[in-house]
């Protein structure tokens, strides 16, 4: 008897709850589990964001050189030597001491070549330093091997100048989270499209990528305009334009 009474109470409760769910959409929606609140999915997003930020920081630190010393670029020894002031008390020893202190500082703070270790010539008082550095920076080519994917950079720190960092840091947890919680996404889906946008000197085939039509005709004529995505390539400007090495009219 008690069992049947309990069953009737359960049936009544179920009916009342169903009625509330039917006429109250707020309660109905609250009872549905939202897949967007999956904690594993959120962990994956956080770890992916962390790795993306670390990759940008590391690659930027690789490509942005450490500034060289203003003392070295300004050839301080020549400036000190040009001072024609005679101090009766030290017979010029004060100026000599300034030069010595500056040299000691450079040796300790900039013990590498110009360009943050990327060029040649040391951070010493040499008046041709700034000219040499400008030439080296001007002629420096992009190194595509420095633009690493998440998978590659997680175990290989590209920061080697002016001194190697030695370790990529704590990538273990983010990598393991990405591997454990697949959710249909690969570890790294980044596509650099280097074969399309890389400088011509870096393209393996040695050929320019196809031009991208703009829909505009050159000078209002009949020759369509195209944009060449590879630096070092220019359009031929003909009725059927191609992208060729800059300075050439055909390819």
- pLDDT tens-digit readout, 159-217: 888 988 877 778 888 888 877 665 555 666 667 787 788 888 888 788 899 999 999 99
Least confident of 24-38, 108-122, 149-163: 24-38
Looking at the fold, whether 146 and 52 belong to one and the same domain comes out as yes
Among 163, 191, 219, which residue terminates a domain? 191
Q: Is residue 23 part of a domain?
A: no
**Chain mean position to CA 239:** 39
Domain end position, chosen among 153, 173, 191: 191
Integer Cα distance of 71 and 104 in angstroms: 12
How far apart (Å, rounded) are the C-alpha atoms in residues 209 and 200?
9
Q: Where do runs of H (alpha helix) occur along the chain?
A: 2-23, 25-30, 39-63, 70-73, 76-81, 93-109, 129-138, 150-153, 172-180, 194-197
Residue 58, domain member (yes or no) = yes
142 secondary structure, DSSP code: P
- Whether residues 56 and 83 fall in one domain: yes
Residues 169 and 227 in one domain: no
Does some domain include residue 205?
yes
How many domains would you assign to the chain? 2
Q: Are residues 107 and 206 in the same domain?
A: no
**One domain for residues 187 and 215:** no
Residue 212 lies in a domain: yes
- Does 32 fall in a domain? no
Q: Residue 106: which domain range?
A: 37-191
The reported pLDDT for the residue numbered 1 is: 46
Confidence of residue 28 (pLDDT cuts 50, 70, 90): very low
Residues 241 and 185 occupy one common structural domain: no
Whether residue 162 is preceded by a cis peptide bond, meaning omega within 30 degrees of 0, is yes
């Amino acid at each position: 008897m008690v069992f049947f009474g309990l069953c009737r109470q359960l049936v009544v409760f179920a009916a009342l709850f169903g009625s509330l769910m039917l006429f109250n959409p707020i309660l109905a929606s609250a009872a549905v589990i939202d897949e967007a609140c999956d904690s594993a999915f959120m962990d994956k997003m956080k770890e992916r964001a962390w790795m993306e930020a670390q990759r940008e920081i590391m690659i930027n630190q690789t490509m942005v050189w450490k500034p060289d010393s203003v003392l070295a670029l300004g050839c301080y020894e020549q400036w000190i030597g040009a001072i024609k002031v005679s101090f009766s008390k030290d017979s010029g020893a004060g100026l000599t001491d300034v030069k010595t202190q500056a040299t000691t500082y450079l040796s300790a703070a900039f013990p590498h070549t110009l360009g943050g270790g990327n060029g040649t010539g040391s951070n010493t008082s040499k008046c041709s330093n700034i000219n040499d550095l400008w030439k080296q920076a001007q002629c420096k080519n992009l190194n595509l091997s420095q633009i690493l994917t998440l998978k590659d950079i997680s175990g290989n720190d590209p920061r080697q100048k002016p001194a190697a960092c030695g370790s990529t840091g704590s990538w273990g947890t983010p990598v393991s989270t990405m591997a454990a919680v697949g959710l249909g996404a690969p570890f790294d889906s980044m596509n650099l499209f280097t074969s399309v946008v890389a400088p011509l000197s870096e393209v393996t085939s040695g050929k320019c990528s196809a031009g991208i039509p703009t829909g505009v005709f050159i000078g209002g004529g009949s020759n369509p305009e195209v944009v060449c995505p590879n630096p070092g390539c220019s359009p031929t400007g003909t009725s059927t334009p191609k992208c060729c090495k800059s300075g050439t009219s055909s390819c």
